Amino acid sequence: MLYLVRMDVNIPLDMPHQRAEAIKAQERDYSQQLQRDGRWAHLWRVVGEYSNYSVFDVADHDELHTLLSGLPLFPYMDIKVTPLATHPSAVE
């Protein structure tokens, strides 16, 4: 199943810089592994925001929830998930 996911990151302003950088490094490692194994199919930055749009290709809602809640930045994110379906006018 394909999902469009918007993630808005809101790291607390009072979080120590070293802690924030450590979490971001963990996030990068985790997200890149999911990209390499094909479950995080696309990742785009939203210009001017600490946000992204991503496409996940996973088995079901439960797998997506597990992956998203495993993100190191998850406690600091607002996430919106949109399940995607095949469009009848799509060429592919």
How confident is the model over 8-30, as a mean pLDDT? 98
> Mind listing the domains of the chain with CATH numbers?
2-84 (3.30.70.1060)
Task: Quickly state the pLDDT bin for 9 (edges 50, 70, 90).
Answer: very high
Neighbour order of strands in the sheet with 77-84: 40-45, 51-57, 2-9, 77-84
Span 41-80, pLDDT tens digits: 999 999 999 999 999 999 999 999 999 999 999 999 999 9
Q: What is the pTM for the complete model shown?
A: 0.93
